[in-house]
Chains A and B, each alone.
Chain A
Amino acid sequence: MHVFLSLDWFLLIEKAILISIIIGISLIVAMYETWAERKVAAVIQDRRGPNRAGPGGIFQPLADGLKLFMKEEIVPNLSNKFLFILGPGIAMLTAMMTSAVVPWAGNIHAFGRDIPLQVADVNIGILYIFGVVSMGVYGVMIGGWASNNKFSLLAAIRGASQIISYELAMGLTLIAVLMLTGSLSLRTIVEQQLDHKYYVFYQPVGFIIFLVCAFAECNRTPFDLSEAESELNMGYHQEYSSMKLGFYLFAEYVNMFISSAVMATVFWGGYDIPFLNDAKFGQEHGQNLLAGLELLCLFLKIAFFIFFFIWVRWTIPRFRYDQLMNLGWKALIPLAILNMLVTGFVILFH
């Protein structure tokens, strides 16, 4: 009873609301990423893209979602039914879970409380992201294996080995960043960058490696070997239909959104507003306006990265499997280690 009463109920409600808002926003962003993908693909190829459903085709994602819901659910006879259904669920869950530690803006002041726009400011933020992201491969792996289809299995194996290879390089670049920050908490990392000391200027090589690895982690072109529609018939989600397929496709877009957020947070100052002294602005115009602008700023950065993801997809063809492995193990990992060593030396003798 005592424990029950001593719970901070406001905190619980505040966090519950925040979680639902973030999940809602993630899904909406993912929806409009599909629209943006088609639109950007179209203009890059001198086409117009979807423009029938609503002005400029903005209701297209709704129609697509409705279509996916209406499709027949097919579960292959010889598949492992439980794992077959579990796969897309895991993919979606892990994609969503990463959003918990991303700081979306500074504190807002409401109901007499300072509410941080971050679900959990855990002091191992980056490690948490790594843990969850590496679980994401289970969605691909389980889905591909449970389908009882050789194409799916091959794709799942490729996907798993690819993600594991690129996670190494990603981790090594983050070590270099962490040597600069001295903290694993994402909020602390953002606060250190508030006066335009973006870590991308200290770690340009690290940022590029991280970017490349993010592409690989999201299974995006040029590293979409686990999908590989031209060689493996859509790979791990070949046997999926209806909303289970939708979950896999959506998880990819949510992953893109979250990894854009992480890149913006770790390397591009997170919610920092460029060319503006945030703290001073906050004192002059109030905390809430500042938080709103910061949120907008972070979303602009995220939007740019999402555009970049899409832009790259419609530029670069898929890597061959051996090229992918060569790039990961023989180029990115040595480069990341070198980057880490150089950073260490500079910090030591500076």
Chain B
Amino acid sequence: MQALTSKAKPVGRKPMTFWEKLYIPAIAKGMAITFKHIFRKKPTINYPEKTRPFSPVFRGVQVLNRDEEGRERCTACGLCAVACPAEAITMEAAERLPGEENLYREEKYAVKYEINMLRCIFCGLCEEACPKDAVYLSETMVPSNYNRKTFVYSKQELLIPNPLTDPEAFAKAKGARPEKTL
């Protein structure tokens, strides 16, 4: 029969020699190999204690951003919701009242801002669509839960900590993300 490739290897069918029949040399060789592996460096990373750094383009759970004075950047324009291919984002807009200038950056803000993390595909299009650098994808993963309802993240869950009242948590949440050029 014509061989289809040159890669075929013939199977050795010859009976074992006496030396092979003894088994012991082969077993000793095998045991030497396994013994060597005892001292090998283990490739496992002890996960909760040690984590590997994410790549810079990693897209995790969304964060609603604040500016350096702690004001919410979101103006509830709805571009993110339009851009979202999974239709995971809903929001309600409201007008800023006098005296709320320290809370919201512009005259309009989002009273309600929800992302359904079960629908979200973490594509990052909301971040790309946002003209105010108000929403971006962080390096955190969505933790598991027993209850579906808990996966609809409210504005309170999405907002980054206030840099004025809690600068440490803000810095931690912000991470090494560079400012988006608007």
**A residues lining the B interface (CB < 8 Å):** 40, 43-48, 51, 208, 311-312, 314-316, 327, 331
Contact = CB atoms under 8 A, between A and B. Distances in A.
10 contacts: A44-B34, A44-B37, A44-B38, A47-B42, A47-B44, A51-B46, A312-B31, A315-B27, A315-B33, A316-B30
B40 interface: yes
A311 to B, nearest CB: 6
Contacts of A43: 37-38, 42
B35 interface: yes
A44 B27 CA distance: 15
B43 interface: yes
A17 B31 CA distance: 40
Contacts of B34: 44, 311, 314-315
Nearest to A314: B34
A45 B37 contact: yes
Given A46-B43, A47-B44, A48-B44, A316 B27 contact: yes
A281 to B, nearest CB: 33
Contacts of A208: 24
A331 B18 CA distance: 12
Contacts of B27: 312, 315-316
Contact of A315 (B21, B30, B40, B46): B30
Given A43-B38, A316-B27, 13 more contacts: A40-B38, A44-B34, A44-B38, A45-B37, A46-B40, A46-B42, A47-B44, A48-B42, A48-B44, A311-B31, A315-B27, A315-B30, A316-B30
A47 B46 CA distance: 11
Given A43-B37, A44-B37, A46-B37, A315 B31 contact: yes
Interface of B: 21, 23-24, 27, 30-31, 33-35, 37-38, 40, 42-44, 46
B45 to A, nearest CB: 10
Contacts of B40: 46
Nearest to B36: A44
B44 to A, nearest CB: 5
A46 B27 CA distance: 20
Pairs of residues from A and B, 6 with the lowest C-beta to C-beta distance, nearest first: A315-B34, A44-B34, A315-B30, A43-B38, A315-B31, A48-B44
B28 to A, nearest CB: 10
A316 B26 CA distance: 10
A40 B42 CA distance: 13
Counting chain B CB atoms within 10 Å of each CB, which of A312, A315, A316 scores highest?
A315
A311 B46 CA distance: 25
A256 to B, nearest CB: 17
Nearest to A331: B21
Contacts of B24: 208
A331 B30 CA distance: 21
Contacts of A327: 23
A325 to B, nearest CB: 15
B182 to A, nearest CB: 47
Contacts of B30: 315-316
A48 B37 CA distance: 12
Nearest to B22: A331
A47 B38 CA distance: 9
